[in-house]
Amino acid sequence: MTAPADVTAAFQAKFPQATSRPSGDHPAFNLPVAEVHAALKYLRDEAAHDFLVDVTAIDNGVDASPRFTVIWHVYSTTRHGYVRLAADCASDENPVAPTVSDLWPTANWHERETYDLLGVKFENHPDLRRILMWEGYPYHPLRKDFPLAGIQTPLPDIEVAELTKASVKPAPMAGGPFVASSGEMNLTDAEPRAKDESWTERHEKPAPTSE
């Protein structure tokens, strides 16, 4: 078996539904989410991209649809090139993507992380638990509607919580840090300002206006 010389052309011939994705560096494709598993299998077995570097997702914004885009990066240890695959999740409320942990065991932890921080579920994942946050944590912090300071939540250990009456509190931002918003906009909007997420010992955190 020899890998095709031009991976981009070969890939597009094999997966006609793949469209090229704007990219600053490596070849990148948009794919329907159902074809991702087959595409990655093809890249690994026939196009010599044997190293899964990273799995992650992008939250395109609360109002955007499709809201979640899952991104895979594969690398070829023999040809030293990357390929990026992207797939939009069909549902905005309950985003689902196929697991590739059967192809690469490393995907197991990457997918757990993506699920933990962005709430994208991976179908047929052997062990889809949270990984960086604790089990039972109610939010997905990398979603755009999650505030930078955090949200008040009960402690992971119920016994400790009952005993100490403590809970996980949002970070005391004390009016800072000055944060800017991403994206091209007019100067006044882009100007960095303290987000209204601050609380100190003297001033309570303002109640969230919308849920």
Partner 1 sequence: MATEYAFPDNAAKTDAAAAQEFQTEKMSLAMGPSHPSTHGVLRLQLELDGEMVTQCDPIVGYLHRGDEKIAENMTYNQFVPYTDRLDYLAPLANNVAYAIAVEKLANLQVPPRCEAIRVICCELARISAHLLGLGAYGIDVGAWTVFLYSFEEREKLYKLFEELTGARFTTSYTRIGGVARDVPEGWNERVGKFCDQFLPILEEMLNLLTRNKIFIDRTQGIGIISKEDAIGYGLTGPNLRGSGVTFDLRKDKPYSGYEQYEFDVPVGTTGDCYDRYLCRGEEMRQSVRIVRQVLKNFPGGSFYAEDARKIFAPRKDKVLTSMEELINNFMIVTEGPLMPPGEVYFEAENPKGALGFFIVSKGGGVPYRLKIRAPSFCNLSILPKVCKGTLVSDVVSILGSLDFVMGECDR
Residues near partner 1 (CB under 8 A): 21-26, 28, 50-54, 56, 58-59, 71, 73, 77, 80, 82, 84, 104-106, 108-110, 113, 117, 130-134, 141-142, 146, 148, 177, 179-185, 187, 190-192, 195
**What's the one-letter identity of residue 18?**
A
Closest CA to 71 of 42, 17, 113: 113
- 8 Å CB contact between 190 and 181: yes
DSSP state of 33: G
Q: Which is nearer to partner 1, 110 or 205 (CB)?
A: 110
Least gap, CB of 109 to partner 1 (angstroms): 4
Least spacing, CB of residue 97 vs partner 1, in Å: 15
Q: Report in angstroms how near the CB of residue 32 gets to partner 1 at its nearest.
A: 19
Q: How far is the CB of 73 from partner 1 (least distance, A)?
A: 6
Q: Quick one: 58 or 155, whose CB is closer to partner 1?
A: 58
Are 94 and 79 in contact by the 8 Å Cβ rule? The answer is no
User: Alpha-carbon distance 187 to 2, whole Å?
Assistant: 54
> Residue for token digits 């799995």?
55
Q: Which is nearer to partner 1, 13 or 156 (CB)?
A: 156
Closer CB to partner 1, residue 13 or residue 189? 189
Q: Which of 136, 131, 92, 135 is nearest to 115 (CA)?
A: 131
